[in-house]
Amino acid sequence: MNFNIKVTVMGLGLHGGGLASALFFAEHGSRVTVTDLRSEEVLAPSMQKLEKYPISYTLGEHKLSDFETADIVIKNPAVLPSSPFLRAAKQVETDISIFLSLNKRPLIAVTGSKGKSTTVSAIYHVLKKHFPETKLGGNITVSPLTFADKCTVEREDPVILELSSWQLADLKDKHLLYPKTAVITNIMHDHQNRYSSMQEYIDDKKLIYQDMNSTSHLICNFDEPTGRIFASESTAKSFFVSKDPLPPSIDGAFLTEESGFIQENGKVKKVLPEETNIKGKHNKLNLLYAASVLNFQGLDNNFIAQELSAFSGIPHRMEKVTVINGVTWYNDSASTIPQAAAAAVESIQEHVLLICGGTDKNLDFTGFAEAARIPESIYLLKGTATDRMIPLLKAEHISFQGPFVHLQDAVSAAYNDSRRGDSVIFSPGATSFGMFLNEFDRGDTFRSMVLKLSGSI
């Protein structure tokens, strides 16, 4: 790629693709313009990392000229393709598409509504011990452009990419994504404030296998009809993951009550031990997806089981924050859909106090009420999703406190009500537009509040 070009980065942000794109092109001699609707004050942490480069800024607005005169525009995944500014551009790319055009390493790609961050992190946790130069990036808030220069030469150490539906949509018809192994963890109602239909959302997920071939493997959810559809449509070799034992004729991985197994070519081998460091059956399924990928990397099943049992999870996904007076506090802020909140409380089952609620994404809340019977106490945060949760709770005669305008008030209420042996889970089951920058900011805020209560900070 010729880097002696004019590049406009649309959306700098505070972490992830925008900052990485600006750094990458500036370091390679491109003439870079950054445009963002936010102010210099908000973007100051990112701008400080770029201060040694001669970058032009358009802040607080977008100017059509920045897009018309650029050779390439790098868009943020959240920006709709219908944007008039993008329509004015000669060529629109993303940090993912630029990376894929340069990458020469084997690729592992993971998508799904939930579980993808835990899955890719577990894969990385194990693979880097066998392939030390393994790289991890994508939707997990690490842009692959941060390590692109190390991936322009062929070597066996793979690259793992977590890809959201929006990131996949931006790759449509570019023919750049050729994973050796791809995973679709599950399909749940998500981002319906962005999509005109559930099918449109599913169609974007399908793009992960649009250019796969018979030498690659596609790992799908056997328990969902969509998973079987994906496998039937793809030319890749299909492999399934299930929460229950699979029919003997099906190659895949499955859970029993205690352990996880891979069933392949008529042989069954154990790849997941009885005890793991992360809680919940949904997380054991995530580890089973990881084990399936590691199996295709040729790793020994005993090594896979040993290393996955040691994996301790990632921030904001049922993250154990601390124990205060015998009460365990969990940060599950990455729970942005009701099904995720349900999975969180089901992973503990007893003596649960749940903090939830926030902003709606036009999602399906029908399963939330059933799971809401598990917590002994529920503390709601104010928001449009909460407005939909309340009638469901009242219909089931489930009591709650709130809605609270401030997270601190909900945390204080849960702290005052909790008793030794309880678990307090912050699993919103919704987004938090307006209250926090994103789910990571929300989780960091919760963690700080809890550690303050414990006297740790």
How would you label 306-320 residue by residue, b for 16+ Cβ within 10 Å and e otherwise?
ebbeebebbebbbbe
Residue 364 has pLDDT above 90, yes or no: no
Pick the CATH number of 97-310 from 3.40.50.720, 3.90.1150.10, 3.40.1190.10, 1.50.10.20: 3.40.1190.10
Measured CA to CA, the distance from residue 371 to residue 380 in angstroms comes to: 15
> Which of 413, 370, 424, 416 has its CA nearest to residue 395?
370
Q: 423 Cβ partners below 8 Å, 6+ apart?
A: 327, 328, 329, 330, 348, 351, 352, 353
Residue 192 has a pLDDT of 58
CB 242 within 8 A of CB 253: yes
Pick the CATH number of 6-93 from 1.10.10.10, 3.40.50.720, 3.90.220.20, 3.40.50.620: 3.40.50.720
Residue 365 has a pLDDT of 85
Q: Could you tell me the residue ranges of all domains in the chain? A: 6-93, 97-310, 319-454
pLDDT in tens, 392-414: 999 999 999 999 999 999 999 99
Average of per-residue pLDDT across 84-113:
97
Residue 434 has a pLDDT of 76
Pick the CATH number of 319-454 from 3.90.190.20, 3.40.50.300, 3.40.50.2000, 3.30.450.40: 3.90.190.20
Regarding predicted confidence, which is higher, 150 or 189? 150
Strand partners, 93: 74
